[in-house]
Each structure stands twice: as structure tokens, then as C-alpha cells.
């Protein structure tokens, strides 16, 4: 039993692999006591904080003061003397916005029930605490799930109108988590197109630190993640919390430094541009938030997320399966291709171990020669480029023993397309206004079932009729003009959440209809890299920037939350199309092979020599693939702080590891660097073939190894380390 209720103390204890979460009932209020490293189930009542946490003396009736305002509450609500960031605000029929849900019961479920329309972590023993406001009939269920194989707790709230009048949710966050003290730094992952997920740390202060998206997409601007780092902690040491939201539409995550030096974490669906009408009997389900804890610094927190997402979130059919090594034609040809050109690329990779050809943008529509026309016309294959349709290409690829991947962007539509001419009402727009065009397209109204039905039918037909084995699912703009013809006026502010439900329904129906097809997520690069998308797509194109040096930064930042196997990383051409840099093929492969991998260049130009080189890199990749899919990541050098980028990936049984040590610019002063390995077994001996040496784990971790880099930019060393008897 991972979840226990101690009736006398009225205390709930929830244990994950090496974490404990504890709260109790103080009168009828759920009072947070502890989240951190695993501890025994002792009496924790001394952790009750007395004194006003958020207000002066507020008394109600006979009470001396408001108990709720003093609590480290598991659910902060609005209007009754607690001025901290509320988790929920509900407007009652009378127009007041007060609620005071109190404990009425709880259940401990052996398995978490599936959420209705939202992706979430699977399984796990689950506690549901039922709260109710008797005056209004507003009910709240707080869900807590723990797993014995990872250091996270999954939380969410369900809000229900069990009263007789219509209510409006004006805010409906997923959780409140009060942390002790305010001695924290806040880490976020910010970015932009071709510069995704850069780490930024700021000191926690009094008041609210807030990160959010209003784009109806999690976006590359701020990932739906917040790290809360005990001051002084680092990559390898110290207590670190991480909050990761399983949601892809507009969201918010907040850390509030209160007047009494405590820190409250909260967030979920963004309450900006949000109101949800809750009729009697209806409920609103909030997205799940996954909260990791590690006493081993940021690295430990990342490993907790990697385990949680690999074990419980990502499609189990693919998460541990050997991945395709693809050749994608995008950067090789862009829109300018025909059957012969593609055939030459396919022939070009013969014997290299590349096993999947992905045909990117430009294969559909009457005249798609650039971004401006035809998006959405999946039912038409471009006759100028592929006169016989897709089938002859599919047959050719399959005859070579390769798999066939195809690009789609189902969620958007071009104004100059058959789809838009036939169904002008499908695109999101407000009557009388010109819809905003993003990359020459409009967003489809995915809140509408008829729009989704059309897409499911059309995309599934293309996949079925052409024996597609792999789909690259792109999404190149964010929603503007949020409005749906399918919603009444008083439900228009439900749009952002309903749009997310529509996106997930679309994913689910297309992916489930094609269970053997692997789907790769993409959003103009890595603009929608979030846990919800990862639930459906085991890998996501990490960035349109595939320059090896830039990728060290992007992949490092992405690994803060997401496992290596979720990052799609390709070797691209030189000079690089964004940066003009010219690292060697060996360096490009070393960085691109730290995830799900492939190549993105014109392989028809490969010479026999290059083919042999590529075959060597791919063989090496396959030899280390199990570590990429299942290993523990130790980040030894942060490229945001130095020219070095170092990953050490260790197998769970500690019998194998790979060390990739990269050095960017050659600054003359930095040819040599020391590496202290981590995560090995000190008592095992390890063979490091590349050094022609056998050393104990103790030596590798304490004395380490010392490497000298060549005197040119963008160089690396790679070691495959294996335990020996």
C-alpha cells in the first residue's frame, strides 16, 4: 500500500519510490504537511504553521479567527480571508464568488481512473478527497496518484456543480502545493523558434512569479514547467521540485512568495480568457500536473520525470521500442522535388542502416510549390511532383526494405485550398474580421466534431491507402481569433480548453486507427513539446535548428523534463542552413544520435565513402540505443555555462554507459577537461575500449578521466563503457 490514512491523526501518507507526500485534515480543511524525501509515517502535526499566513485577524461568527487563512492548504479558495493565489474561483447564482469546500470523505483506489478527454499518466494508486460547500452545492475532488517506480506525485482537481443553479468557473486550476520557506530559485524553460527551451533561473521573491501561454498551444515561449530549486542546489546536489503540466493549450504556473515567507505553487488551465459554465450536475476536469522531487539536484529531478514519463505517460507500444533511423527530404529539397529526386535520395542511403524515408511538406494539393497554397488538401497528391500518386513511391520504398513516413499538418488550413473553398466555415474566424494568417494558414475549429470527423476520415484514408508506416505531424501556427461557430455566446470563453479537448480527440482517433504507425510530433520545430503531446507521440521534432552546436543547448534544456528518446534529432547538411557553421559529420552525428535520430539532407549526393561513414555512425547508434531508450541521464557539463556539453547515460543495472563529451569553440585555453563519472557501481570494473583501459567504478567516479580535445571547433569524444568480470 503506497497510500495510507491514519484515522487518529487524520493524516494521509502517500509514498512514491523515494518520496513521501503528507497532509491531514485540520477540522475539515486539508492541511499540507510535507512533500520531500521518503520519511517514516510518524506524527507530523508539529508541522502545522500557526499565525496568519495571508491575512490579519478575520473571524466568522463564533470562531476566533479563520482557520483556513492560517493553513498551508491543499486547496486555496477565494473570498473568505485567504488572499493567497486561489486554486479555484466559482461564481454562484447570486453573483457572489465565494466558496468554502470542506472535507466530506475520501477513497483510496488501487488504480487511477482514466480521465475523460485529457491525456494523463496511467495507473498508480490514487487518493481522492471529496470536499463540498453545503451552502452552494459546489464540490471539489482532489486526486493524488503515486508510483512505486518514480519520484513524482500526479495531482489534479475535478470541480462539480451539485447545486441547483448554474455556476461559472472563473478560475479552475489543478492544484495548490504549499512549500516551506521561500529560499528557492525558480527555473523556467523559455525560448522561441530555433531557440527552444533555454534555462533561466531567477530568485524567488515576495509576490507571484508566473509563467504562462495564451496561445492555445503550450508553445516554445515558455514550456509548461517550473523548477523550484532550493537555493544552493545544483545539477547534482540539493532539494529540487519540478512542476510539469500535462496540457497543451493556454496554461499558467505560479509560485507565490507569501507575506510569511512561504511559497505556494499553483496553476493549470490559464484563467485569462476563461470562464466555464457549469450547469447543475456537470463537472469540469482539470489537467494533470506531475510534481517531481529530488534530493539529488536538478539531475535527479530530470531522472524522476524521465522515469515517470517513460513508465506511465508515453505510448507503451513505442516508448521502449527501437526507433527508425530516418532520412527526411525537407532540408534536402524543401518544396522542390519529384519522384526521380526522391528515388535518388532513397537510393543514396542504401547500405547505411537508414531504414525509413520521410516525405515532408509539399506532396499534396494541386499546386503546393511553397507555403502559400494547398494546406489541408490531403485528398489530392500533387500531380506535377508525383504523377502516379503516393503509391508508386510507397512501393519503391518498401521494395528497398525501408519504411515510408509522410508529413501532415492536419490542424490548419490554407485560404487557397480545396478544403477552405468547400468548407469555409471550418476555419476559426469571427464574422466581419479578416482571420489572422500564420505561415499563410488559418487554424481549424477543432472544438467542432464535424471538423474533426472530416480530418479523421481524410488523414486515415491517406495512411491506409498508401501503407504509411510513420507520420510526421506538424503544427506551424498558434490560434488567433479564438471563437467557435459551434458555441453559444456565453460559452465562447471555454474555447481554449475545448480546443485542447478537440486536439486530443483528433490525435487519439487517428493514432488509435493506425496502431502500428509511429507518430512523430512537430510544431514548426519544437514549439509544442509538452507532456500531453508526448502521451500520443513517442518522439517530437525538437527544433528546426539542427546545427550541432545549437542543438547542444536545445537538447540540454529539453532534457530538464523530457527523456532522450522523446527528442527527435537529425544530422543536417553543412554549411548549416540557419547558422552557416560547418562541424564534421562525426560531430553532427554524435549530437543527433542522443535521441530518436535521422538525417535531413540530400543523400543523393552521398559518395561511397560517406555512405560507409554514415553506416558506421548508425551501427554505433544501434549499439547504444538501449541506453537512449532506457538509461539514466547524468548531465556533466552545461553548454549554457561553458563551451562543454557532456552527457553520461548509464543503464539501470549499471553494467553499461556511454559518455559523449563535446567541446564547442576552441578557445585555446580549453583543450583539456576533467570528467568525474556518476551513477556507476563503485565496486564494478568497467572496460573503456576507446582508452584501452579497465577501471573500477570508484576510480571513474572519484579520480575520473581527463580528456584533451583537438585544436578545432565543434569536436567531441565518445566512450562506450561496459562492466567486466
Least Å from the CB of residue 360 to ligand DGJ? 5
CB closer to ligand DGJ out of 129 and 406:
406
Which of the ranges 127-135, 189-197, 422-430, 517-525 carries the binding residues for ligand DGJ, by CB under 6 A? 517-525
Known catalytic residues are 474, 544
**Nearest distance, CB of residue 361 and ligand DGJ, angstroms:** 3
State which of residues 298, 522, 594, 657 lies at the interface with ligand DGJ (CB under 6 A): 522
The cell numbers describing 553, all together, are 543547448
Could you give the CA distance from residue 44 to residue 9 in angstroms, rounded to a whole number?
9
Question: Who contacts 669 (Cβ-Cβ below 8 Å, separation ≥6)?
Answer: none
For 62-93, give the DSSP string.
Answer: T-SS-HHHHS-BSS-BSSSS--S--SEEEE-T
173 neighbors 287 (Cβ within 8 angstroms): no
Would you give the DSSP letter of residue 258?
Answer: -
| Residue 330 vs 686, nearer CB to ligand DGJ | 330
Instruction: For residue 474, state whether it binds ligand DGJ (rule: CB under 6 A).
Output: yes
Rounded distance between C-alpha atoms, residue 415 and residue 96, angstroms = 45
Minimum distance between the CB of residue 171 and ligand DGJ, rounded to whole angstroms? 34
The span from the CA of 717 to the CA of 707, in Å, is: 8
Q: Which residues contact 403 (CB under 8 A, 6 or more apart)?
A: 324, 355, 356, 357, 397, 469, 470
User: Per-residue contact track with ligand DGJ, 547 to 586, x per CB under 6 A?
Assistant: ----------------------------------------
CB of 460 vs ligand DGJ, minimal distance in Å: 21
Q: Position of cell 451539485?
A: 162
Q: Is residue 595 a contact point for ligand DGJ (CB under 6 A)? A: no
Q: CA-to-CA distance for 557 and 465, rounded, in angstroms?
A: 39
Looking at beta carbons only, is 239 or 542 nearer to ligand DGJ? 542
Query: Which CB, 356 or 476, lies closer to ligand DGJ?
Result: 476
Instruction: Find the helix packing angle between 585-592 and 548-558, rounded to 10°.
Output: 10
Shortest distance, position 522 Cβ to ligand DGJ, whole Å? 5
Among positions 524, 631, 664, 679, the unique one binding ligand DGJ when judged by CB under 6 A: 524
Nearer to ligand DGJ, 266 or 572 (CB): 572
Residue 537: count other Cβ atoms within 10 Å of its Cβ: 26
Own/partner contacts of 295-298, CB < 8 Å, gap of 24 or more, are 295/36, 295/37, 295/238, 295/239, 296/236, 296/237, 297/233, 297/234, 297/235, 297/236, 297/237, 297/238, 297/240, 298/187, 298/227, 298/229, 298/233, 298/234, 298/235, 298/240, 298/560
Stretch that binds ligand DGJ, among 2-10, 211-219, 319-327, 522-530 (CB under 6 A): 522-530
Q: Minimum distance between the CB of residue 438 and ligand DGJ, rounded to whole angstroms?
A: 12
Shortest distance, position 611 Cβ to ligand DGJ, whole Å: 24
Place of cell 568497467: 686
| Nearer to ligand DGJ (CB atom), residue 240 or residue 463 | 463
Of the pair 474, 494, the CB lying nearest ligand DGJ is at 474
Please provide residue 581's backbone torsions phi and psi, each rounded to the nearest 5 degrees.
-75, 160
How many Å apart are CA 72 and CA 74, to the nearest integer? 7
Closer CB to ligand DGJ, 82 or 544, in the complex: 544
Give the number of other CB atoms < 10 A from CB of residue 145.
28
Smallest distance from the beta carbon of 359 to ligand DGJ, in angstroms?
10
| Closer by beta carbon to ligand DGJ, 409 or else 469 | 409
Nearer to ligand DGJ among residue 119 and residue 524 (C-beta)? 524
Q: What are the Cα distances from residue 687, in Å, to 344, 528, 648, 690, 706?
A: 42, 41, 15, 9, 16
- Separation between Cα atoms, residue 388 and residue 365, nearest integer Å: 14
By beta-carbon proximity to ligand DGJ, the closer residue of 100 and 196 is 196
Give me the least distance between CB of 337 and ligand DGJ, in Å please. Answer: 12
Judged by beta carbon, residue 136 or residue 476, the one nearer ligand DGJ is: 476
Kindly state the smallest distance separating residue 197's Cβ from ligand DGJ, in Å.
15
Instruction: Write down the least CB distance from residue 409 to ligand DGJ, Å.
Output: 7
Closer to ligand DGJ by CB, 198 or 372: give it.
Answer: 372
Give the chain's count of helices (H) and strands (E).
13, 38
CA dist 409 and 376 (Å) reads 7
How many whole angstroms separate alpha carbon 198 and alpha carbon 543? 12
Interaction mask 351-380, ligand DGJ, x per CB under 6 A: ---------xx-------------------
Which parts of 59-98 interact with ligand DGJ (CB under 6 A)? none
With CB under 6 A as the rule, give the number of residues binding ligand DGJ: 11
Find the shortest distance in angstroms from Cβ 298 to ligand DGJ. 28
392-431 footprint of ligand DGJ as x/- string (CB under 6 A): ---------------x------------------------
Select from 274, 364, 541, 562 the one that contacts ligand DGJ (CB under 6 A).
541
d(CA 540, CA 7): 46
Separation CA 108–CA 128 (nearest Å):
6
What is the per-residue DSSP string for 477-544?
Answer: ----S---TTS-GGGGGGHHHHHHHHHHHHHHHHHHH-TTSEEEE-BTTBTT--HHHHHH-SEEE--S
Pairing of strands 539-541, 518-521: parallel
Pick one of 476, 542, 565, 597: the residue that binds ligand DGJ (CB under 6 A): 476
* Residues of span 316-335 touching ligand DGJ by CB under 6 A: 330
| Residue whose C-alpha is closest to residue 562's, from 185, 224, 154 | 224
Q: Which stretch binds ligand DGJ (CB under 6 A): 127-135, 383-391, 519-527, 708-716?
A: 519-527
**Do the beta carbons of residue 541 and residue 472 sit within 8 Å?**
yes
Contact in structure between 30 and 142 (CB atoms under 8 Å): yes
Does residue 544 bind ligand DGJ (CB under 6 A)?
Answer: yes
Residue closest to ligand DGJ when measured from CB atoms: 361
- The stretch among 243-251, 351-359, 521-529, 552-560 that binds ligand DGJ (CB under 6 A) is 521-529
How deeply is 634 buried, as exposed, middle or buried, from its count of CB atoms within 10 A (0-12, 13-18, 19+)?
buried
Distance between CA atoms of 329 and 369, rounded to whole angstroms?
Answer: 15
Question: Shortest distance, CB of residue 201 to ligand DGJ, whole angstroms?
Answer: 28
CA distance 499 to 494: 9
Binding site for ligand DGJ (CB under 6 A): 330, 360-361, 407, 474, 476, 522, 524-525, 541, 544
Amino acid at each position: 500500500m503506497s497510500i495510507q490514512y491514519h484515522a487518529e491523526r487524520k493524516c494521509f501518507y502517500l509514498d512514491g519510490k523515494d518520496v513521501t507526500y503528507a497532509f491531514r485534515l485540520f477540522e475539515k480543511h486539508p492541511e499540507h504537511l510535507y512533500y520531500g524525501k521518503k520519511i517514516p509515517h510518524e506524527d507530523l502535526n508539529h508541522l502545522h504553521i500557526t499565525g496568519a499566513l495571508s491575512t490579519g485577524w478575520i473571524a466568522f461568527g463564533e470562531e476566533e479567527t479563520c482557520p483556513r487563512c492560517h493553513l498551508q492548504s491543499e486547496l486555496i479558495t477565494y473570498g473568505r480571508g485567504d488572499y493567497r493565489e486561489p486554486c479555484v474561483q466559482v461564481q454562484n447564482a447570486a453573483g457572489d464568488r465565494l466558496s468554502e469546500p470542506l472535507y466530506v470523505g475520501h477513497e483510496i483506489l488501487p488504480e487511477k481512473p482514466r480521465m475523460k478527454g485529457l491525456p494523463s499518466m496511467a495507473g498508480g494508486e490514487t487518493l481522492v478527497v471529496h470536499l463540498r460547500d453545503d451552502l452552494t452545492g459546489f464540490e471539489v475532488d482532489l486526486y493524488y496518484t503515486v508510483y512505486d517506480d518514480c519520484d513524482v506525485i500526479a495531482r489534479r482537481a475535478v470541480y462539480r456543480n451539485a447545486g441547483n443553479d448554474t455556476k461559472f468557473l472563473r478560475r479552475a486550476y489543478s492544484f495548490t502545493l504549499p512549500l516551506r520557506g521561500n529560499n528557492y530559485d525558480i527555473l523556467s524553460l523559455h525560448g522561441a523558434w530555433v531557440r527552444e527551451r533555454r534555462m533561466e533561473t531567477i530568485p524567488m521573491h515576495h509576490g507571484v512569479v508566473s509563467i504562462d501561454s495564451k496561445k492555445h498551444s503550450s508553445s516554445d515561449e515558455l514550456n509548461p514547467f517550473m523548477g523550484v530549486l532550493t537555493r544552493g542546489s545544483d545539477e547534482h546536489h540539493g532539494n529540487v521540485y519540478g512542476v510539469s503540466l500535462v496540457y497543451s493549450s493556454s496554461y499558467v504556473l505560479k509560485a507565490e512568495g507569501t507575506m510569511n515567507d512561504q511559497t505556494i505553487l499553483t496553476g493549470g488551465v490559464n484563467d485569462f480568457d476563461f470562464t466555464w459554465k457549469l450547469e447543475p450536475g456537470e463537472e469540469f476536469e482539470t489537467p494533470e500536473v506531475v510534481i517531481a522531487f529530488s534530493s539529488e539536484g536538478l539531475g535527479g529531478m530530470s531522472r524522476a520525470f524521465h522515469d515517470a514519463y517513460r513508465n506511465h505517460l508515453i505510448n507503451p507500444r513505442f516508448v521502449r521500442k527501437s526507433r527508425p533511423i530516418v532520412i527526411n527530404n525537407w532540408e534536402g529539397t524543401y518544396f522542390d522535388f519529384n519522384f526521380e529526386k526522391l528515388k535518388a535520395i532513397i537510393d543514396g542511403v542504401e547500405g547505411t542502416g537508414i531504414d525509413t524515408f520521410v516525405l515532408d511538406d509539399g506532396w499534396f494539393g494541386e499546386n503546393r510549390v511553397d507555403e502559400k497554397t494547398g494546406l489541408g488538401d490531403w485528398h489530392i497528391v500533387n500531380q506535377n511532383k508525383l504523377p502516379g500518386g503516393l503509391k508508386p513511391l510507397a512501393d519503391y520504398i518498401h521494395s528497398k526494405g525501408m519504411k515510408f513516413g509522410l508529413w501532415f499538418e492536419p490542424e490548419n488550413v490554407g485560404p487557397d485550398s480545396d478544403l477552405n473553398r468547400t468548407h469555409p466555415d471550418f476555419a476559426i474566424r469571427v464574422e466581419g474580421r479578416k482571420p489572422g494568417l500564420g505561415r499563410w494558414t488559418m487554424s481549424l475549429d477543432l472544438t467542432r466534431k464535424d471538423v474533426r470527423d472530416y480530418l479523421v476520415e481524410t488523414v486515415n484514408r491517406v495512411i491506409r491507402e498508401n501503407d504509411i508506416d510513420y507520420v510526421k505531424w506538424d503544427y506551424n501556427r498558434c490560434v488567433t481569433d479564438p471563437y467557435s461557430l459551434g458555441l453559444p455566446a456565453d460559452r465562447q470563453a471555454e474555447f481554449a480548453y475545448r480546443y485542447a479537448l478537440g486536439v486530443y480527440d483528433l490525435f487519439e482517433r487517428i493514432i488509435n486507427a493506425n496502431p502500428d504507425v509511429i507518430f512523430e510530433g512537430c510544431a514548426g520545430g519544437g514549439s509544442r513539446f509538452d507532456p500531453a503531446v508526448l502521451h500520443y507521440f513517442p518522439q517530437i521534432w525538437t527544433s528546426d535548428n539542427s546545427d550541432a552546436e545549437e542543438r547542444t543547448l536545445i537538447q540540454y534544456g529539453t532534457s530538464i523534463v523530457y527523456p532522450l528518446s522523446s527528442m527527435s534529432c537529425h544530422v543536417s547538411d553543412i554549411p548549416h542552413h540557419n547558422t552557416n557553421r560547418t562541424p564534421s559529420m562525426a560531430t553532427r552525428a554524435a549530437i543527433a544520435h542522443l535521441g530518436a535520430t535521422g538525417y535531413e539532407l540530400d543523400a543523393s549526393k552521398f559518395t561511397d565513402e560517406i555512405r560507409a561513414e554514415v553506416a558506421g555512425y548508425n551501427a554505433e547508434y544501434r549499439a547504444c540505443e538501449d541506453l537512449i531508450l532506457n538509461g539514466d541521464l547524468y548531465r556533466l557539463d552545461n553548454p549554457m555555462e561553458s563551451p562543454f556539453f557532456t552527457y553520461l547515460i548509464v543503464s539501470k543495472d549499471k553494467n553499461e554507459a556511454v559518455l559523449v563529451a563535446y567541446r564547442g569553440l576552441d578557445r585555446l585555453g580549453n583543450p583539456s577537461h576533467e570528467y568525474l563519472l556518476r551513477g556507476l557501481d563503485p565496486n564494478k570494473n568497467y572496460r573503456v575500449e576507446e582508452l584501452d583501459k579497465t577501471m573500477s567504478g570508484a576510480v571513474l567516479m572519484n579520480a575520473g578521466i581527463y580528456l584533451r580535445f583537438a585544436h578545432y571547433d565543434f569536436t567531441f569524444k565518445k566512450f562506450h563503457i561496459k562492466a567486466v568480470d
